[in-house]
Amino acid sequence: MAAVQRLLRAAASGGAATAAARRRVASLAPEEVPAAAKGFPFAAEERMRRRPAAERNVQWVFLGCPGVGKGTYASRLSRLLGVPHIATGDLVRDELASTGALAAQLAEIVNQGKLVSDEIIINLLSKRLKKGEDQGESGFILDGFPRTVKQAEILDGVTEIDMVVNLKLREDVLVEKCLGRRICSQCGKNFNLACIDVKGENGLPAIYMAPLLPPNNCMSKMVTRADDTEEVVRNRLQIYNDMSQPVEDFYREQGKLLEFDLPGGIPESWPKLIHVLNLEDQEDLKLAAA
């Protein structure tokens, strides 16, 4: 509860304070770091002993372009580590579906295509953190927050972010991936029809991503999101890149940014991400595969 109250006070004052304590998650020695992971300080004094997944109390942030899959990997790690996956996009959608006083205000903002203000996002996040505290939650993985340096400063003033995982994927692959997205109009599940098989050239690695095909009963009900056109996708990526660079620099200067280049789809990327996060014990791998 105290953390929630500090979050609200920090939001009102601009949140310039920086958390005094700097915890570090388990990491690898420099010679063990895969080429996919860059930028995170893997000094020996920063390393922690491996512990069972149930004992790990992490406070992580996931960054990444729209469509890169940060929600997918954040939710998998959430299940693996037993901490909540908190996506601000889900918080907004849940509030829109409610009958609360904020729902009407949010609906107007979303319908007009405007960005949800920091004040509202902080309000929703505060409610979620309070609920978690009341239920005895420990740790979290944030997805979709912070999006600005101001939000990062607010967050930094009230809690101790261990690590910021920045998922990266080359733009041509991201565009193809976004254009392949489909939604079942009946069950609402997401699928992807794109079979991405890009050859390595000009110093860039080859990337293969198998399609995520729907079952037969969903195949005839596939619909495309209205904003999944090449022009809109590329514009969305450009806006994100312009906004995210200062946030990445903010965490890079703190020594907390781990940049992870996705080498392919989930089968190729998940084991490497588990490796770089130092979660490679047999118990973890069983849970990860579940």
Active site residues: 70, 147, 181, 225, 236
d(CA 248, CA 244): 6
Judge whether 210 and 174 are in contact, CB under 8 Å: no
Q: Which residue has the tokens 């107007």?
A: 108
**What are 213's two structure tokens?**
């095909």
Please give the helix or strand (H or E) that residue 159 lies within, else none.
none
d(CA 203, CA 218): 39
Which residues lie below 8 Å from residue 40, measured CB to CB, with a gap of 6+? 27, 33, 163, 255, 256, 257, 258, 259
Q: Which residue has the tokens 């205000």?
A: 105
Which residues lie below 8 Å from residue 154, measured CB to CB, with a gap of 6+? 7, 10, 11, 14, 15, 118, 122, 146
d(CA 185, CA 223): 6
Amino acid at the residue 68: V
Rounded CA Rg of the chain: 19
